[in-house]
Structure 1
Amino acid sequence: MGIYLHDANLRQKGYRTIAGIDEAGRGPIAGPVVAASVVLCDEIRIRGLRDSKKVPEKERERLFWDVLCAAVDIGVGVVEHDDIDRLNILQSTKLAMQRALEDLKIPPDMLIIDAVTLPFVPIRQISPFKAESKSASVAAASIIAKYVRDRIMLHYHEIYPEYNFLKHKGYGTREHLSLIRLHGPSPIHRKSYAGVMSLPLF
């Protein structure tokens, strides 16, 4: 498979512990951004592993447990809505990724990161375009990050059921925006985002 070949080529160049890093939650208008770092065993293949955005929810749950069982190491980093408002989403994404990296037990010698670089991390890193579709370790990280964030939003749904986070997970759908107009922003909405505080109430 192509995504495994990408990481295998890096191992042939001498990198032994490769961590793929990806995030979930840059686009939503509520809730945290979550990043995951995953180190995979080069001898294991996970059936159906691919970018989490291309995976139906039920299959994503199965892949989450498959990655959890197959990975050599997994780290998770979370940055909540209030820090996103304070820092902006790009810096919050990088902070979540750095926390996910620090959560690993095994120090990697190569990072494959989707879309961004971590300038203050002294580890060799590459950021190929659409890395989650090219690297198995990044695809695995995308599954972990998305699953963990969805579970967080399900928890918030229990606290704030009037916003129906169960359905849209904090993304700015038409229904979600309508519910903000009806109830006003919740404590977990990103107040710095256009379309949250500026929405007129019904």
Structure 2
Amino acid sequence: MKDHNLKSGAYYMKNLLENLDKKSYKIIKEEFDNLNLTSKEDKEYLMEELLKDKRKNVIALGNKIKKELDALEKEKIRVKGMYDFDRGFAKGNLLAGVDEVGRGPLAGPIVSACVVLDLDVLDEDMIYYLNDSKKLNKKKREELAEIIKEKAISYAIAEKSNEEIDSLGISYCNNKVFLEGLEGLSVKPSIVLSDGYLIKDVQIENKSVIKGDTKSATIAAASIIAKVYRDNLMEKYGEQYPEYGFESNVGYGAQKHIDALKEFGPTKIHRMSFLKNIL
């Protein structure tokens, strides 16, 4: 086997490839499944070596890596398009993206997140898998939320309670959490992109983007942070009020939630203004 600059996880790759042709497929598969390669270079090298083997099942392992690399390249192109979208508005200045979650539920707060990303990063340093938070599973959202917080130039979260929604109205609270999210940043962006509609009374340039969480990297990042924050909050409320299923419906009007409202009545986190046609 030719010399290879071993990186993290590559030590086990070297063991796998030593005397590859003399190993049974069962052993190869076990060692393959235990690999944790992180670099594209290592994955490409392993793929090439496995594809040289004459056994179809070993070649299939090489093709599995090829499929993963092809998918990663497509993801890179997709996410680069989202970063390029934001760069087109930023024009070299700081740009923020803002999004909300929890406008429609019967219970719990409305939450916004505002995020400023470094749009001048190299392709390999972009945050992959950014997307509308609702299109991601829970595990992926939580992983991405931590990555976003770590890599963001700045981020902020704002919320308005069910009591404030009842007294001030959902539209006012929706706009207010956008404004407070912007105010909570540690930097001052030159422009803010918002998902769907413009922010009232904002003091910097604002552009609205239809389905922005699928087009803009910063709006998608905000969408993910906001949803993870609110979902975790509603899980805690689910422990406090187990009859309503908040841990799964996050306050929306699922059947279990409606049935509990009719049997037990509203809790302290319900939006009474949203329950007029239910109770």
Normalised by the length of structure 1, the TM-score is 0.93
For residues 113-152 of structure 1, the aligned pairs below 5 Å read 113-152=194-233
C-alpha distance in 2 between matches for 1:180 and 1:126: 40
Shift of 1:198: 4.2
- Residue 54 of structure 1 aligns to which amino acid in structure 2? K
For residues 89-128 of structure 1, the aligned pairs below 5 Å read 89-128=170-209
1:163 lines up with 2:240 in the alignment: no
Give the conservation status (yes or no) of the 8 Å contact 2:133–2:224: yes
In structure 2, the partner of 1:22 is 99
In structure 2, the partner of 1:33 is 110
SS of 2:172's partner is helix
Shift of 1:119: 2.4
Aligned residues, how many? 196
In structure 2, the partner of 1:8 is 87
Give the conservation status (yes or no) of the 8 Å contact 1:38–1:137: yes
Give the conservation status (yes or no) of the 8 Å contact 2:98–2:195: yes
C-alpha distance in 2 between matches for 1:81 and 1:116: 22
- Determine which structure has greater relative contact order: mean sequence separation of CA pairs < 8 Å that are 6+ residues apart, divided by chain length: 1
1:58 lines up with 2:156 in the alignment: no
Between the aligned residues of both structures, percent identity stands at 39
C-alpha distance in 1 between matches for 2:234 and 2:171: 20
Question: CA RMSD of the aligned region, Å?
Answer: 1.2
1:82 lines up with 2:154 in the alignment: no
C-alpha distance in 2 between matches for 1:184 and 1:33: 21
Shift of 1:22: 0.1
Shift of 1:187: 1.1
Indicate the structure with greater helix content. Answer: 2
179-188 vs 134-143, greater mean Cα deviation: 179-188
- Residue 103 of structure 2 aligns to which amino acid in structure 1? R
In structure 2, the partner of 1:199 is 278
C-alpha distance in 2 between matches for 1:81 and 1:51: 24
Shift of 1:97: 1.0
- Residue 188 of structure 1 aligns to which amino acid in structure 2? I
Shift of 1:126: 0.1
- Residue 148 of structure 2 aligns to which amino acid in structure 1? V
Give 5+ residue unaligned stretches, structure 1. Answer: none
Normalised by the length of structure 2, the TM-score is 0.68
Give the conservation status (yes or no) of the 8 Å contact 2:197–2:209: no
Give 5+ residue unaligned stretches, structure 2. Answer: 1-79
Which structure has the bigger radius of gyration?
A: 2
C-alpha distance in 1 between matches for 2:200 and 2:102: 21
